[in-house]
Amino acid sequence: MSQKLKIPTVRLRRLAAELRSLRSSAGLTRDEVLERTGINPATLYRVESAKANPQKRTLIALLDLYEAPPALRAEVLAMARGATEQGWLRPYHSELPQEYTAYISFENEAWEVRNYESLFVPGLLQTEDYVRAVIAGMLPQAGSREVDQRVQARVDRRAVLTKESPLRLRAVVDEAALHRAVGGREVMRAQMKHLLQMMDEPNVALQTIPFSAGAHPGMPGSFVLMTFADAEDPEIVYIDSMAGDLFLEAPVELRRYNAMFDDVMAQALSPSATADLITKLMKNNL
C-alpha cells in the first residue's frame, strides 16, 4: 500500500465538519463556492468529507468567503495544521488495510471505547499469543510477514490502556468467546489470566453475556463505539465484517448502536461475576 495514503483523524473530521457548518451558515452551495473562489469542486468535496486536508491558500479563501470571525478563523487554521497527525501510528502500519489503520488512529484519540464481541476476546485485551492464533486462523493464506505486521499492530494498540491519560474501555463479550480454545489450552489459560489482571485496572471493565441469557441484541455481530473527549467530535461506530469494514457516523446509527450496547450491558454479568466465571473456566477447563 502506498506510503502516501492519508488516514483520517479526529481533527481532520472536525475540520471538515466546521467547514461544512461555515458554508451552511453562509447560505452557499458548493457550486456557488466554486463560482466565487475558483476552488475545484472535487477539492471542496474531499475537504468537506475529511478525505483531504486543504492547502493553506484554499482554507484562507474559504474562511474569507464565509466571513469567519477572527477567533474561529484562528481555531480552524490551527486545526488544519494538526489535522493529519497520526498519533502513534508506526511506519509499517501503512502496509495494513486502510480501514484498519483508520481505526487505529481513531482509537488512539478516543476518550472511551465501548466494544461488544461475540466470538473473540476484545482486541485491546488480547495477549500476543492469542492474537497470533486468531490472525493465523482467520487468514490462513497470509504470509509470515503479514501475520507479524498484524500481530505487532494489535500489540501496539494496547498502549492506549496504559498511556498517561489512558483510554476508558467498556467491553462486553459473549460467553462463547471464553470457551473457544484459540491457540490451545496454554494460550487460553494465559489469556484468561491476562483478562483478570486487566480487570483490576480502573479504566477497564469487562462483562460477559452468559449462555443462560439466551438470545440477545448483540448476536448479529461485533461492533465498537468510540467517544472523544471533545463534545464537538462526533462518535464513531466501527464494524469489522467479512463484507468489509464500516465506519458509521449518522445520528440514527449512533443512537441504534448506543441503545444496543446498553441492552447487551444490561443482559451481561457484572464485572465481578464475570471475573468469577473466568476463574471457574480456568479451574474446570484450562
pLDDT tens digits along 195-247 = 999 999 999 999 999 999 999 999 999 999 999 987 767 899 999 876 667 88
Domains along the sequence of the chain with CATH: 10-81 (1.10.260.40), 91-285 (3.30.870)
CA 107, CA 104: separation in Å to the nearest integer?
5
What is the pLDDT confidence band of residue 2, given thresholds at 50, 70 and 90? very low
CA 227, CA 105: separation in Å to the nearest integer?
13
* Portion of the chain with pLDDT greater than 90, in percent: 62
What is the pLDDT confidence band of residue 186, given thresholds at 50, 70 and 90? very high
Provide long-range contacts, Cβ within 8 A and 24+ apart, for 27-32: 28/65, 28/66
For residue 245, the cross-strand partners are 240
Cell 461544512, residue located: 20
pTM (2 decimals)? 0.76
**What's the rounded mean pLDDT across residues 66-89?**
75
Integer CA distances (angstroms), 51 to 37, 95, 201, 238, in order: 20, 19, 37, 18
**What's the rounded mean pLDDT across residues 58-63?**
93
Average pLDDT, the chain: 88
For residue 117, the cross-strand partners are 173
Cα 128-238-178 angle, rounded to 5 deg = 45
The pair phi, psi for residue 137, each rounded to 5°, is: -75, -35
Task: Say what the pLDDT of residue 93 is.
Answer: 55
Cell 468535496, residue located: 45
CA 22, CA 16: separation in Å to the nearest integer?
10
